[in-house]
Amino acid sequence: MFMFWDPMYLIISLPAIILVFWAQWRVKSAYGKWLRIRNARGLTGLQAARMLLNYNNLGHISIEGTRQLLGDHYDPRTQTIRFSPDVADSPSVASLAIVAHEIGHVAQDAESYVPLKARNVIVPVAQIGSNLGPILVILGLVLAAYLRTPASREFAYQVAWFGVLLFGGALAFTLITLPVEFNASARARAMLTDAGLIYADEMPGVRAVLDAAALTYVAAAAQALSQLLYYIMLLGGFRRRD
């Protein structure tokens, strides 16, 4: 896409791009380190998951596997948690952190946590906006460059601005994800302590893994925001030259 060759895009987005790469490095570093450190109780992720689900009266939740590395997630539609083999089978500190985080999402769902419900509602809008929004922005600008009549050019700009609006839905999704993820991590730390699954000297490892994961969501929000700002400035520049 031509925006990658636009200096204005690099100026606006470079901080967010750097943050994304740094967040990815932090996740791999923290996960890799604490996956090698065995938790004191010798619990695998799967064992800890079943214990935490029972501790929170959530024994009806299903547990399945996923082959995707760091693809551990909770699916509220089927009330199923999916763990990667490294998490499910490893008796590591990292496994405890990731398992507890996902069960934090389960607890949110059980309590009808408002930000989680709101995020689930806007998922379709976010998916459409992230895919169709940029296409409409570019299409509108291309049409505006070639159409000659004022009415047709105005229509082209409306198409582009509609694309900006759609992409705004994707940005809204990344922003509402932040309190959901931060709250799930806070729940994870609390339940691991309350259930007696970790010792105090293991908490720094749990925090390192959870904080690194949270940073990826901050980076995603920053990247979406910078991209939206670029579209708005791009359209504003085209209109001023028109």
Active site residues: 102
Helix (H), strand (E) at residue 194: helix 150-194
Phi and psi angles of residue 49, each rounded to the nearest 5 degrees, phi first: -60, -45
Q: Both tokens of residue 63?
A: 């547990």
In the chain the first and final C-alpha atoms are separated, in Å, by 22
Structure tokens at 192: 């691991």
Q: Is the dihedral of CA 196, 202, 208, 213 positive or negative?
A: negative
Provide the b/e sequence for 113-132 (b: ≥16 CB within 10 Å): bebbeebeeeeeebeebbeb
Sign of the CA dihedral running 67, 70, 72, 73: negative
Long-range Cβ pairs for the range 74-77 (8 Å, 24+) = 74/102, 74/103, 74/105, 74/106, 74/109, 76/105, 76/109, 76/116, 76/120
Q: Label the pairing between strands 80-83 and 73-75.
A: antiparallel
Q: Which amino acid is at 16?
A: A
